[in-house]
Structure 1
Amino acid sequence: MPQGTDATFLHEDNAALIFSPLKFRNLEVKNRLFRSNLSGMFDEYNGYGGITRLNWEEKFAKGGVGCIISSYTPVAVRGRILVRYAMIDNDDKIPFWREVGKRVHGYGCGFIMQLSHSGRQQDMGGVENLFKKSLSSTSQSDFFHGILAKAMTVAEIHEVVEQFAQGARRAREAGLNGVELHGANGYLITQFLSSGINDRKDEYGGSVENRARFALEIVRAIRREVGQDFHLQMKINGVDHNDWLYPWKKKGNTLQDTLTICKILLDDGKGVDSFHISSGSTFPHPRNPPGDISPRALTRWYGGMLASGVRTRFNYAVFKNPLSGPLFRWYWRVRRGRIIEGINAEYAKFLRTEITRIDPGIKFLCTGGFQHASNIAGVIRDGSCDAVTMARPLIANNDLPEILRSADGPIKQKECTYCNKCLVNDLANPLGCYEVSRYDGDTFEEKWDNLIKSVMSVYQPPLFR
């Protein structure tokens, strides 16, 4: 056998698997690569979508992913995570999202809207929320930024459930392919699900069944509005790791807790169609997005958060200090662990194995730094998941699907470094890859100029020409 033939066959097998269609109950996607939820502050302050977001979503569809999961799309102004994110809080938002779907579908790419509510994890909620405590399952502020919160009344819970349901209805009317509930990474649904956060004494707190009640009511309300033939999936933590910053905090949900929640959300075959597995009860979290964190970058852009929470000034001082900044970076890496690519695969495999015994039609997505064909095909092949979701590697290489189809080789020099500079820049700058070493040029200035051209490319073409 000629040298290299084994490797060629393996690559062809990997590519065949990665680029095979994935069939959900009510949706078929052309390959196993999903663009995960990410976005910059590209829209109007009042939550109306803009031309830049159209350009942003279209470039990933053009790059070859099978399906795009939208950025965190608030179902209400009160649940906004950051300003200038397009919302789905009113019927007048439907025409914009219809255009998003039209642009993306033109490349044979699906589009799933991620319905979200920030709860107490509201980085910059805008002037509308300036003097209001964030809605949550608890009145305890979040332990990272110190965002003030109030425990929702039952009436407020019912109101938010209805906001999710109407958001799903609008997504369907816009011609999108489905919706995802953001039940992971510290947002409102997590705040109800997590035993490390939810301290309620009523029917929405205590046992895992009670903590899952809010999410189940949302699922049922969505099904009431969109029927059983519209795709509905849930993003959920495999494990919360709620004690990542302070070891004396409650750990939060275990894998067994999550399994119980997933079983509940199946709702006897009338609930969710798919689970999207992540981890980490805050955002950011060492496990989400897994990688590095730069104190220098944090101090450069974290200033926008200073008015948001009671701990933000303390955090800023920690990041800026020449001793505590590097110490925080070291601690971040320790709490993350050594694995980055496929960090949640073990959780996904356990949950998929158990859930598909009950309902073989349920599909599983897994997020966690995927960017190499061998690793992507590996987790699909070993039963960890049915597809992977990617964010930062696609920011680094919008054409990553074509790279994966041809071979891993071309990515070696320009792969995502997991530096998370894209994350910290999003608080003040256009979202993009800010790792200078990835760009061509003989000098730092030339590389930086090429970086800026890449980051700003999403603004072309402009609305008016």
Structure 2
Amino acid sequence: MNHIAEALIIRNIPFKNRIIKGAMSEALANRAGQPNKLHLGLYDAWGKGGLGCAITGNVMVDWRAKNEPGVVVIETERDLAKFTEWANVGKQYGMVQLVQLSHPGRQCPKGLNKETVAPSAVPFSPLLATTFGTPRALEEGEILDIIARFAEAARISEKAGFEGVQLHGAHGYLISQFLSPLTNKRQDQWGGSIENRMRFLLEIYKAVRAKTSENFIISVKLNSADFQRGGITEEEVIQVFKAIDAAGIDIIEVSGGTYEAPAMAGAKADQRKASTIAREAYFLDFAEKIRKEVKCHLMVTGGFRTAKGMNAALDSGACEFIGIARPLAVETDVSNRLIAGHDVRYAVEQIKTGIPFVDKMAIMEILWYAAQFKAIGEGKKPNPNLSPLKVFLNYAKNNIKAIIQGRVNSRKSA
């Protein structure tokens, strides 16, 4: 059976098929963090391509904590009209849209923000310490403020017309930093035991649910593992999944890795298990394990490339949704193709510039695809042969400009 094409209803919201676009960094906003016509053009292309649901790229809940230049920010209703236009794009095609709400914590390039904050003042590994500075530990009042910011951003998202939000609790961002004993060394109610370390996530969920309607979908993206020695254990991960499920979450997206151990970018073929290669998805084995522990809907993203593999995953019961990300950057109509029984056209390979320290950080897995998004947003066709080195050099130039401008503005306001 073609399970990909099957519909599903969550909180009275119809999903016309089982394909969800996983969140990818768009880097299309202006310096004020506002969405624009490029976002509308990009999501219009994906809507035409048959997507059942699209999760936006990172949308920050605090202007002072941006993870990169060009990121969208929601703090107030200042840009409500623009967000409403964005939400309406999906409605034209029956494409559900979830806003991925995020706070990067320590994962911000040096100089981009006035300072970086995290659960604890834990520095990065030597390889990344040149790019990311040591954060300041958050005070309790600041933790409560961030929780309130997630809730307010969700309220505004619903008012704009989006069907739901996704809380970014994976890939080393702030929620993930609270969950991991590597980055959370606190001795108060927000650290120590796994019960305390997951308090931040659970309080965000409760605050978001309290500020939105009964029909508003709340999803969360969680790591199956940090893939770092001394990180969160599998037993603790299962506890987190069970706790957020019991709280009432609608969808959990299963992922893994951090900037320091980027499993989400995909391991090399010779480093993966034979079973993973055969079944395509990186995190499907864990999804099967967690499926026995939770009742909410599960989404698995990463590695799927054939209609057969996707249908097999759905048929197994391990997940209800298939997450597709990078293929959509070079094939905007891949959803319709998969539903018709065709496979992804282009094999996704690691994007390399030839600069060793850049390639080890896997940053090109973000930047190269963001360049494709800009082209699509402008109405152009994506370019599978786009030079990674050219993209990186262009990013470096723009990033330096943004950092310098940020420092100038900081001096003016001082």
TM-score above 0.5, yes or no: yes
Letter in 2 for 1:399: D
1:210-229 matches, within 5 Å, as: 210-229=196-215
C-alpha distance after superposition, 1:376-412 (max 9, x if no partner): 1111111111011111111121111122123336x4x
Confirm or deny: 8 A CA contact 1:24 1:363 kept in the other structure: no
- Single out whichever of 67-76 and 116-125 deviates more from structure 2: 116-125
C-alpha distance after superposition, 1:15-40 (max 9, x if no partner): 3x111012223432110000110133
Partner of 1:327: none
Q: 2:304 aligns with which of 343, 357, 370?
A: 370
Confirm or deny: 8 A CA contact 1:41 1:82 kept in the other structure: yes
Q: Give the 3 Å change call, closer, same or farther, for CA 94–416 of structure 1 in structure 2.
A: farther
Partner of 1:81: 67
Q: 1:289 aligns with which of 246, 261, 265?
A: 265
Q: Are residue 272 (structure 1) and residue 249 (structure 2) matched?
A: yes
Confirm or deny: 8 A CA contact 1:369 1:391 kept in the other structure: no
Q: 2:335 aligns with which of 379, 382, 401?
A: 401
2: CA distance, partners of 1:446 / 1:49: 25
Q: Give the 3 Å change call, closer, same or farther, for CA 26–150 of structure 1 in structure 2.
A: farther
Q: 1:415 aligns with which of 311, 336, 346?
A: 346
**Displacement of 1:261:** 0.9
Q: 2:221 aligns with which of 235, 239, 242?
A: 235
Partner of 2:81: 95
Confirm or deny: 8 A CA contact 2:21 2:324 kept in the other structure: yes
1: CA distance, partners of 2:384 / 2:226: 42
**Displacement of 1:369:** 2.2
2: CA distance, partners of 1:365 / 1:288: 14
Letter in 2 for 1:82: E
TM-score, normalised to structure 1, is 0.73
TM-score, normalised to structure 2, is 0.82
Confirm or deny: 8 A CA contact 1:178 1:232 kept in the other structure: yes
1: CA distance, partners of 2:168 / 2:270: 27
1: CA distance, partners of 2:17 / 2:249: 21
1:23-422 matches, within 5 Å, as: 23-123=9-109, 126=112, 129=113, 131-132=114-115, 134-143=116-125, 144-146=127-129, 147=132, 148-243=134-229, 250=230, 252-268=231-247, 271-280=248-257, 282-283=258-259, 285-291=261-267, 339=276, 341-356=280-295, 362-408=296-342, 411=344, 414-420=345-351
Structure scoring higher RCO (CA < 8 A, sep ≥ 6) equals 2
Confirm or deny: 8 A CA contact 1:138 1:149 kept in the other structure: yes
Q: Give the 3 Å change call, closer, same or farther, for CA 111–124 of structure 1 in structure 2.
A: farther
Question: 1:18 is paired with a residue of what secondary structure?
Answer: helix
Question: 1:168 is paired with a residue of what secondary structure?
Answer: helix
Confirm or deny: 8 A CA contact 2:21 2:51 kept in the other structure: yes
**Displacement of 1:291:** 4.7
**Displacement of 1:430:** 4.8
Letter in 1 for 2:70: R
1: CA distance, partners of 2:111 / 2:17: 36
Q: Give the 3 Å change call, closer, same or farther, for CA 206–101 of structure 1 in structure 2.
A: same
C-alpha distance after superposition, 1:38-76 (max 9, x if no partner): 133211011011111111111111111100000010011
2: CA distance, partners of 1:32 / 1:194: 31
Q: 2:7 aligns with which of 2, 9, 21?
A: 21
Q: Give the 3 Å change call, closer, same or farther, for CA 366–76 of structure 1 in structure 2.
A: same
Confirm or deny: 8 A CA contact 1:83 1:125 kept in the other structure: no
1: CA distance, partners of 2:262 / 2:163: 31
Q: Give the 3 Å change call, closer, same or farther, for CA 446–212 of structure 1 in structure 2.
A: closer
Q: Give the 3 Å change call, closer, same or farther, for CA 420–378 of structure 1 in structure 2.
A: farther
Partner of 1:321: none
User: Superposition RMSD on alpha carbons, in Å?
Assistant: 2.6
**Displacement of 1:267:** 4.4
C-alpha distance after superposition, 1:429-465 (max 9, x if no partner): 95229xxxxxxxxxxx99669xx9xxxxxxxxxxxxx
Confirm or deny: 8 A CA contact 2:119 2:184 kept in the other structure: yes
**Displacement of 1:212:** 0.5
1: CA distance, partners of 2:169 / 2:146: 14
**Which blocks of at least 5 consecutive residues in structure 1 are unaligned?**
1-12, 244-249, 293-332, 357-361, 434-444, 453-465
Q: Give the 3 Å change call, closer, same or farther, for CA 429–343 of structure 1 in structure 2.
A: closer
Confirm or deny: 8 A CA contact 2:254 2:298 kept in the other structure: yes
C-alpha distance after superposition, 1:213-250 (max 9, x if no partner): 0111101111111143311011001122124xxxxxx1
